[in-house]
Structures are given as structure tokens and as C-alpha cells.
A and B are shown apart, each in its own frame.
Chain A
Amino acid sequence: MDNQQGTNQPAQPSTPTPDAASATPATPTPDTTVQSSSTPPPAAAMATPGATTVAPSPVPPVTNVPNSPTPPKGKSNMLYIILSIILVLIIAGAVAYFFMHKSAPLPQQMVKKETMVPSPTIASQPTPAITPVTKANVDQTLNNTNNSIQQASTQVNTDLNSISSSDSSQDTTTGL
């Protein structure tokens, strides 16, 4: 990049100035106006002191462009444009590259987040929440409560029978 700019930029002022200097005797006005609009050439202004009255004439530069022998000026503009485009492209590439690398972990993080979401595991049966007893569910609630008491009572009977059937006399050391 630096090499390109370094080689092209010095060539731009050098190419038009000799042309302008050589053109001033033949067609003084158009060339001076064109040059004054873009880059003031000191050599041309110094060579023709009388041309100072002609210089401000507002000749449309459009007519001069095809006639003027300054295709290099257009070329230089084109060069500027191409260089700008290349520069923009390079910057755009660099920015894109930067953002690609910067945003690269993002999808991974997203994937991680998705995979890290744990499936709901029930460690233990939670204590059933008591829903508000309303007129609509009071009968069902009381019925369920009655059943749960009955189940608990039945379970108590079963466990008490298990205890009774356990022979504690097996835990004697006599005879050993």
C-alpha cells in the first residue's frame, strides 16, 4: 500500500505542469483556468504576467476536458478512485476480518449456552403445594385428604406388623 501511494503521488503534479507550461502560448485561458481550479502551477503563472486578466474568465471546464490534452489528469483521478476503492476494499476486508475473528466465539458461546441448559431434573418429590381451597374444589380436597390419611394409616399398620414379625430373640448371645 505504501509503495503504491509513494510511486503514484509524486507523478501527479509532475505530469500536468509541463503540459500547462507548454500550452500557455497557444491557448492561454483554458489551461490556466483548469489548472487553477485543481492545482495552481506556479511556473505558468510566473511565465505569463499579462494573463492575470484572462485567468478569472469563467470558461466552463466541460468543454475543455475533451479538447485539453490532459487525459493524464483523468487517469490520475481514475487512479485516485481505483486506489480509494482498493483502499476501501482493503479496509473493508480488514474490518471484516477483524469482526470475523471477534465474533467467532459468539456462535460457540451460543452453542455452549444451548448445551449448558440443563434438563429439568427432579431431585426429589417436592412437597405438594396446597392450592387454595375454593368452593369448587373443597369437596374433592377433603376427599383426597381423607384418602391420604387412610393410606398413611394403612401403611402404619403394615410397618407395625413388620416390626412385630421381627424376632428380637435372635439377638441373644446365650449359647454362643
Chain B
Amino acid sequence: MNNKVIITIAISATILAQSALPAFAIQSIGGQKLVNQVTREENQSSKAAQRQGTELQNIITRSNTLISNRIASLNELSTRVQNDTRLSTNEKSTISSNIQTAISGLTALKTKIDADTDATTARGDEKTIITGYYVYAAFEPKTRYLVILNNLQTTTVNLQALVPQLQNLINTLKSQGKDTTQLQSLLSDVSSQLQTINTTITSGITTVENIPTTSEPASGTFTSIKTNITQVVKTSFAKIQSDIQQMRPLFKQLISSNSTTPAPSQAATTTTPSGTQISPSPSASPSTTP
């Protein structure tokens, strides 16, 4: 009887000991290492995924800022072009179309970046915001210089149309025996300055139009254009203004004077203009304003 009890207890103890063995195995050194490694890998992968997700979100946020800044600048540029009074309809249309194309492209790029699911693709798209448009380095200065040059060209064309009109008047005064030497000299200078301006502007427009917006322009590209505008065109316009300021009193003087005033060769035969022609009528509103 005692033997049976002892055997039963021994079997039960063995079964219990075997069932509890795995628990003790974890407590062993090798098992603990394995668990730690698995846990570490799990944590690492989780952290990597979290980091990638954060990076993607950062890229998207940064890209949105880059794009919205550029679109705001382009819209401001578009408003400048639309409000311009000297640009022709074709010039406005072409420049505005280019601006709208850039805005549309950036808007589409924003949509793509927002939908990107991995950081690598998003980072590539983010770079396209810069390299695809060069809004600040190329597009905006290019457009603004085009506007400047086209405006100056319009002013030049209007002035060039005025020159023959002034020449006719000088010829008339000369035929009346007036000394138009000074006026003629000033008008010749105006013509000469206009030629210089026109050549510079035409060359500038060609240069600006050939600047690509999909690559970074070479340093100094716009500097030479700016120099030409400020040092050649503006200087020439200043000379024209000076000429005009000198011509005004000369015209007044010659118109108000009789033919007896320094009439070089034909003083005796010239007819005197009536006094009514002298005073410029205030109602006369010449439409030469460009």
C-alpha cells in the first residue's frame, strides 16, 4: 500500500516538474538573450517605420510650403503683368500663359507629393519643385526683365513715331525763315539715342527669351541685362528727356517770333506767321502719351 502511494506521488511529481520546465528554461541565459533580441528588432522596425512616416510627413509639409510660396510669387507676377499698360495684348497673353503653366505644374506636383507614400519618392518630387521651375532663380527675373524690356520698347516706338512729326514742324519753321539749327541738332540726338536704346532692348529681349527655366541660369546672366538697362537704356532716355527739355523753349521761341529773327538766308522773303498761331492752345490734347 505504501509502495503504491509512493509510486503515485513520484509520477505526479515528475509530470509536474516536466510541465514547469519551459518556465524555468526562459529564466536560463540563452533564452533570455533570444527574447531580448526579438524585442529589440521589433522595436527597431517600429521605430524605423515611425521615423520614415515622420520624414515623409516632414517632406510633404516642407514641399507644400515651397510650392505655396512659389505660387504666391507667380500670382503676384501675374497681377503685375495684367495691370501693365504698356504691354501689348500678345505680350500679355504670352507672359501670362507662361505664368499659368508654371502655376498649374506646381499645383499638380503638390497633389502628387501629398499622395506620395514613401519618403524617397517624396524627396525626389520635392527637388522637382526647385529644378523643374527655378521660380526665383530664373522664371521670375526672366519674366520681370521681359516686362521691363517690352515696356521700354513701347516707349521707344512711341518716341520714334514722334520724331518725324517734330521734323516736319522744324522743316515748317525753317521754311518760314526761322533758325532751327539748335532744334535740328537736338532732334538728331534724340534719334540717335533712340537707335541705341532700340538696339540694346532688342538684344536684351533675345537674351532673356533664351534663358531656360528648367536649369539654373549661369551666374551673371541677368546682371548683364540689368547693366544694359540701367547704364545704356536709362542713360539714353535721360539724354532724350534733356533734349526735350531744351527743345520746348526753343519751339516756343521760334513759334512766337516773327520771321525777322535769325533767318539765315531767306529772311527777306519769308512771310510772318500770324500771332494767333503762336500760342499753343490748351485744348489741344496730343495723344502721343505712350
Interface residues of A (CB under 8 A from B): 123-125, 127-150, 152-153, 155-156, 159-160, 162-163, 166-173, 176
Contacts and interface: CB of A to CB of B under 8 A. Distances in A.
B33 interface: no
B1 interface: no
Contacts of B40: none
Contacts of B140: 163, 166
Interface of B: 69, 73, 80, 85-86, 88-89, 123, 126-127, 130-131, 134-138, 140-141, 144-145, 147-148, 151-152, 155, 158-159, 161-162, 165-166, 168-169, 172, 216, 222, 226, 229-230, 233-234, 237-238, 240-241, 244-245, 247-248, 251-252, 255, 273, 277-282, 284-290
A168 B137 contact: yes
A159 B144 contact: yes
Would you call the interface of chain A mostly helix, strand, loop, or mixed? helix
Contact of A142 (B80, B222, B229, B244): B244
B130 A173 contact: yes
Would you call the interface of chain B mostly helix, strand, loop, or mixed? helix
- Interchain residue pairs A-B with the least CB separation, the first 8: A137-B284, A171-B137, A133-B165, A141-B286, A124-B89, A168-B137, A152-B155, A128-B287
Nearest to B254: A135
Contacts of B152: 152, 156
A143 B155 CA distance: 14
Nearest to A150: B241
A168 B141 contact: yes
Contact of B159 (A149, A156, A169): A149
B287 A130 contact: yes
26 contacts: A124-B89, A128-B288, A130-B162, A133-B166, A134-B169, A135-B280, A136-B279, A136-B281, A138-B166, A140-B280, A140-B282, A141-B286, A142-B244, A143-B248, A145-B158, A145-B159, A145-B244, A149-B237, A149-B240, A149-B241, A152-B152, A163-B144, A168-B141, A170-B69, A171-B130, A173-B130
A139 B250 CA distance: 10
B185 to A, nearest CB: 16
Contacts of B244: 142, 145-146, 149
B280 A139 contact: yes
Given A169-B136, A173-B127, 17 more contacts: A129-B287, A131-B287, A135-B172, A136-B279, A138-B255, A142-B247, A145-B158, A145-B162, A150-B241, A153-B234, A160-B148, A162-B144, A163-B141, A166-B136, A171-B137, A176-B126, A176-B127
A171 B172 CA distance: 59
A135 B290 contact: no
A144 B130 contact: no
B286 to A, nearest CB: 4
B285 A140 contact: yes
A132 B290 CA distance: 15
B145 A163 contact: yes
Contacts of B248: 139, 142-143
A156 to B, nearest CB: 5
Contacts of A145: 158-159, 162, 244, 288-289
B148 A139 contact: no
Contacts of A139: 248, 251-252, 280
A160 B230 contact: yes
A153 B237 contact: yes
Contacts of B162: 130, 133, 141, 145
B137 A133 contact: no
A172 to B, nearest CB: 7
B278 A171 contact: no
